[in-house]
Amino acid sequence: MKFNLRQTFTIFFQKKRIPLPLIAATLLFLFSSCGSDPKEQTGAGTVSGRSVEKPSLKIADWRYVEQVVSESQGKIVVVDLWSTSCPPCLREFPDLVALQDQNPVEVVCISFNCDYFGGKNYPPEYYRAPVEKFLTEQKAYMTNIINNVPAEELFPMLDLASMPATYVYDRQGKLVKRFDNERREYGKEGYTYKRDVIPLVEGLLRTAAPKQ
């Protein structure tokens, strides 16, 4: 299986397990190179020196995502798996925010951050500051979650090799499509919200809501 390293460094291997210390070291290097070191944060509640409302942020697992989907019957649900170290994820994130802003009633957007790798010295809470800072800058007022399951468990469980990935559920809570680029279906650059995700959501929005 080939992986697109331009998409993300978050990859699981079915036949080869990467030592957690190596993963943690890689993570720290990428945070440093991307300017995401928590020590450099100016405060999660500020953007360019201006005080802004912090988005909600919960630490939970994929079962919580399934719970939100179940509780959102009658609405379209979009779940975005992303990481602060994944350039394509960050590039598309503003369009996820715009999708939620433009459809505050009929669409439920969930951002599911996957920075946590399972290192003992870097628990899920360790990633709160950089993730919260990014969400605040993006004004991501939606359901925001930091995954608390080690990547080596999460990705095999989801049968997913890499990020970014976006799940779209219909009004009945049924998964309609998972967008990823494991088979290069969307070319080297991968899928986009404007070209791929949003048209699907708009089509689902035209369907009638289920009768109560």
pLDDT tens sequence across 167-185: 999 999 999 999 998 888 8
In a domain, 145, yes or no: yes
Nearest residue to 37 (alpha-carbon basis) of 94, 122, 100, 144? 122
Q: Who contacts 58 (Cβ-Cβ below 8 Å, separation ≥6)? A: 64, 143, 144, 145, 146
> Domain holding 189: CATH number?
3.40.30.10
In a domain, 182, yes or no: yes
Identify the band that residue 2 occupies on the pLDDT scale cut at 50, 70 and 90.
very low
The predicted-structure confidence for 111-165, as pLDDT tens digits, reads as follows: 999 999 998 899 999 999 999 999 999 999 999 999 999 999 999 999 999 899 9
In a domain, 109, yes or no: yes
Hey, which residues does 146 pair with through a beta bridge? Answer: 59, 113
Tokens of 136: 């605040």
Check residue 93 and give its pLDDT: 98
Phi, psi of 80, deg, nearest 5: -110, 120
In a domain, 60, yes or no: yes
Identify the band that residue 81 occupies on the pLDDT scale cut at 50, 70 and 90.
very high
Say how many domains are in the chain.
1
Check residue 45 and give its pLDDT: 56
In a domain, 78, yes or no: yes
In a domain, 136, yes or no: yes
Range of the domain at 158: 55-205
Q: How many angstroms separate the CA atoms of 119 and 126, rounded?
A: 10
Check residue 178 and give its pLDDT: 97
Check residue 37 and give its pLDDT: 37
